[in-house]
Amino acid sequence: MASKLLRAVVLGPPGSGKGTVCERIARSFGLQHLSSGQFLRESLGGGGEAGALAQQYLERGLLVPDHVITRLMMAELEKRREQHWLLDGFPRTLGQAKALDGICQLDLVISLNIPFETLKDRLSARWVHPASGRVYNMDFNPPHTQGVDDLTGEPLVQREDDRPEAVAARLRKYKDAAKPVMELYKGILHSFSGTETNKIWPYVYTLLSSRIPPVLPEEEH
């Protein structure tokens, strides 16, 4: 019998380590990490009205309207019906959660609770490789060569929405939007608090291992 396909969500405020933890889960369990933010950034390049609209929201650190992100995510999930789903940053509102519940029953929701000051410090030191979405941090995981992506050698950039004023807006908005989502999923919610991903990771690894077999040992993330 085919093993059950994982339907998991990782939530947390900007800078909480969603992308970092999802990449570790993807590598350790042999599945793909689906980031709503990355899909949006990739959609901007296509031009068109939707891309221009989304750009305005992203740059200001505002949530993109539910109907825009839901349509985008449903299309991406439709392509992956026969694959594990590890969703990073979606759903982020009750409306999005209800849309997702309309097409699947989630197995687990992981919530990363990281102190406000830690989030701000992390985002000020975040550098990304736009094409791949790979994430670096001058303090936590610097690139082998300063300023360039480890795999392609292409330049790293800081995201427009990681500027302090945009970060403040994102952090302010996150809590209100996320509260009803956590409430909806309280029966399958696993919250992890702390200031270091490396300390949270073993618990996340153990939790996922209870759902699907790992392909790498915990320490080889």
Binding residues for GTP, by number, are 15-20, 126, 135-136, 197
- Concatenated DSSP letters of 45-66: TT-HHHHHHHHHHHHTTPPPPH
- For the question of residue 126 being annotated catalytic, the response is yes
Give the C-alpha distances (Å, rounded to integers) separating 17 from 1, 53, 217. 35, 27, 20
Per-residue 3-state assignment (H helix, E strand, C coil) for 7-23: EEEEECCCCCCHHHHHH
The tally of CA atoms less than 13 A away on the side-chain side of residue 106 is: 25
Q: Are 101 and 181 in contact (CB under 8 A)?
A: no
Site string for ligand ADP, 60-99 (x = CB under 6 A): -xxxx----x-------------------xx-x---x---
- For the question of residue 27 being annotated catalytic, the response is no
Q: Does 137 engage in binding with ligand GDP (CB under 6 A)?
A: yes
Q: Are 16 and 119 in contact (CB under 8 A)?
A: yes
**Partner whose binding site includes residue 126, from ligand ADP, ligand GDP, none (CB under 5 to 8 Å by kind):** ligand GDP
Please state the separation of Cα 27 from the chain's center in Å: 15
Stretch that binds ligand ADP, among 35-43, 107-115, 137-145, 192-200 (CB under 6 A): 35-43
Please state the separation of Cα 80 from the chain's center in Å: 17
Total number of residues that touch ligand GDP (CB under 6 A): 19
What's the min distance (Å) between Cβ of 133 and ligand ADP? 8
What's the min distance (Å) between Cβ of 37 and ligand GDP? 7
Structure tokens at 20: 């970092």
Catalytic residue (choose from 24, 92, 122, 134): 92
What's the min distance (Å) between Cβ of 216 and ligand ADP? 24
**Longest distance between any two alpha carbons in the chain, whole Å:** 51
Closest CA to 78 of 34, 116, 140, 109: 34
Total number of residues that touch ligand ADP (CB under 6 A): 20
Stretch that binds ligand ADP, among 29-37, 141-149, 189-197, 198-206 (CB under 6 A): 29-37
Stretch that binds ligand ADP, among 43-51, 58-66, 143-151, 205-213 (CB under 6 A): 58-66
- Concatenated DSSP letters of 135-156: EEETTTB--SSTTB-TTT-PBP
Binding site for ligand GDP (CB under 6 A): 12, 14-20, 122, 126, 135-137, 139-141, 196-198
Annotated catalytic residues are: 18, 92, 126, 159, 170
Site of interaction with ligand ADP (CB under 6 A)? 14-15, 18, 35-37, 40, 57-58, 61-64, 69, 89-90, 92, 96, 161, 170
